[in-house]
Amino acid sequence: MLKKIRANTFVATTVLAPVTYASVPTLALTWDTNVNTVSMTSSQEAKIQRAEEKIKAVVASSTFRSRVLNHTYRGVKKFVDNNGLTNSQIYYKILYAAEKLQPSKNNTMDMGIKTYYENSNTVGWTSTGSTYINMNTKFLNNYTSTNVTRNMMHEWLHKLGFSHAVSYSTSRDYSVPYGIGRIMEELAANY
Amino acid sequence: MKKLIPILTLLICAEARSVEVAHEFDRKEEVACHKEIQDLGCVDSADEEILDCVERQKAKLSPTCQSIHLVKSQK
Ligand SMILES: [Zn+2]
C-alpha cells in the first residue's frame, strides 16, 4: 500500500521494517563507509576517497536496489554462492553491513586497505581472518576510481561472508562478490 | 584445565581452518587462461576448471596462465 506524496515519491502507509522512502529503504540513504588506508600516496588516497563517494551514491540509488533484487542466474532470481539468501536478504545484508569480524549492524562499510607491489596478474587479495584488503599497486595505479569501486565492493562482500569459486567459470560471475562488484562498477560510472 | 586443552586446541584448529584467502586476478588474463585450460580439455560441463587435470598439463600453459594456476593450486 503506497501513498503518493510528491511526484515520483511514495511512502508506505502500512508499517514496514525498514520504512522506505523514494523507493529505497532509509538504510540505503544513511549507508556510510569507514575505510582506513595504510601508507598510500596522496593520489592513491584520493582515488579511494572518490571511490567511497561513488559507492555511497550507488548504494543510495534505487537502481542499485533494483539491480540486486532482480539479479538473475539461468532464469532464476538469485546469486550463485548466495549462502542460502534471497536477493532481498543479500540487499539488506549489504545495508546492515555487519562484517564477520566487525559484526555490529552499523550500516557502514568497515574495511582497511593495504597496498603492495607485485609484478603479477593478481589485482589483490583478502583473508577472512583480517579486516584489511590488499591491493596490488600495479593495478591500483592504473585503475580509475570507478574500477576501484568494483574491487572494494567485491572484497568487502568477502568480509560479509560471501565467497566464490577459486577458478574462473561463467557461473562465478554470478556469485555475490563478482555479480554485485560488476553492478557497482557499472553504476559508479554514472557518478 | 588439562581436560580443556584438547577442546581448546580443537577450537583453535577449527578457527584456523575457517580462514580463507581469496585472490582476484586481472580479468582479461584470467579469462584468456580459462580458454587455454579449456583447450587442454580441463574444463567440465559446468565450465569449472579441473585443477588436477591442469596440474598434469601445466607445462603446456603460457607463463601467465602458469602463474595464475600456481596461485590457485597453493590454496
Ligand atoms: Zn573474491
List chain A residues with CB under 8 Å of B18: 128
Q: B20 at the A interface (CB within 8 A)?
A: yes
> Which is nearest to A162 in space by CA: A107, A88, A103, A80?
A80
Contact A167 B34 (CB under 8 A): yes
Residue B72 binned pLDDT confidence (cut-offs 50, 70, 90): confident
Tell me: the pLDDT tens digits for A167-189? 899 999 999 999 999 999 999 99
Domain count, chain B: 1
- Calculate mean pLDDT across residues A113-122: 94
Distance from the Cα of B47 to chain A's closest Cα (Å) equals: 5
d(CA A54, CA B7): 47
Q: State residue A109's pLDDT score.
A: 98
> Quick check: is B11 in a domain?
no
d(CA B71, CA A138): 17
Contact A163 B29 (CB under 8 A): no
Task: Flag whether pLDDT at A136 surpasses 80.
Answer: yes
> Which is nearest to B47 in space by CA: A27, A167, A154, A105?
A167
Tell me: the pLDDT tens digits for A150-169? 999 999 999 999 999 988 99
Predicted complex: ipTM over 0.85:
no
Task: Flag whether pLDDT at B17 surpasses 80.
Answer: no
CA angle B70, A141, A165 (to 5 degrees): 35
> Quick check: is B9 in a domain?
no
d(CA A178, CA A18): 27
Interface test with B, best of A167, A169, A178 (most B CBs within 10 A): A167
CATH number at residue A162: 3.40.390
Tell me: the pLDDT tens digits for B23-66? 999 999 999 999 999 999 999 988 889 988 999 999 999 999 99
d(CA A141, CA A47): 9
List chain A residues with CB under 8 Å of B68: 121
Pairing mode of beta strands A108-116, A132-136: parallel
Contact A125 B21 (CB under 8 A): yes
Task: Flag whether pLDDT at A108 surpasses 90.
Answer: yes
Contact A169 B47 (CB under 8 A): yes
Tell me: the pLDDT tens digits for A57-101? 999 999 999 999 999 999 999 999 999 999 999 999 999 999 999
Q: B24 at the A interface (CB within 8 A)?
A: yes
Domain count, chain A: 1
Distance from the Cα of B25 to chain A's closest Cα (Å) equals: 4
DSSP structure class, residue A157: H
Task: Flag whether pLDDT at A116 surpasses 60.
Answer: yes
Contact B22 A167 (CB under 8 A): no
> Quick check: is B56 in a domain?
yes
CB-CB neighbours of A57 under 10 Å? 15
Helix (H) or strand (E) holding A126: strand A122-127
Cell numbers for B73, please give them: 593450486
Of residues B12 and B18, more confidence is placed in B18
CB B72 within 8 A of CB B60: no
Which domain, by its residues, includes B38? 22-74
> Which is nearest to A51 in space by CA: A144, A154, A178?
A144
Contact B48 A123 (CB under 8 A): no
Tell me: the pLDDT tens digits for A3-33? 333 334 444 444 444 555 568 999 999 999 9
Tell me: the pLDDT tens digits for B2-15? 565 555 554 444 54
Which domain, by its residues, includes A152? 2-188
Residue B75 binned pLDDT confidence (cut-offs 50, 70, 90): low
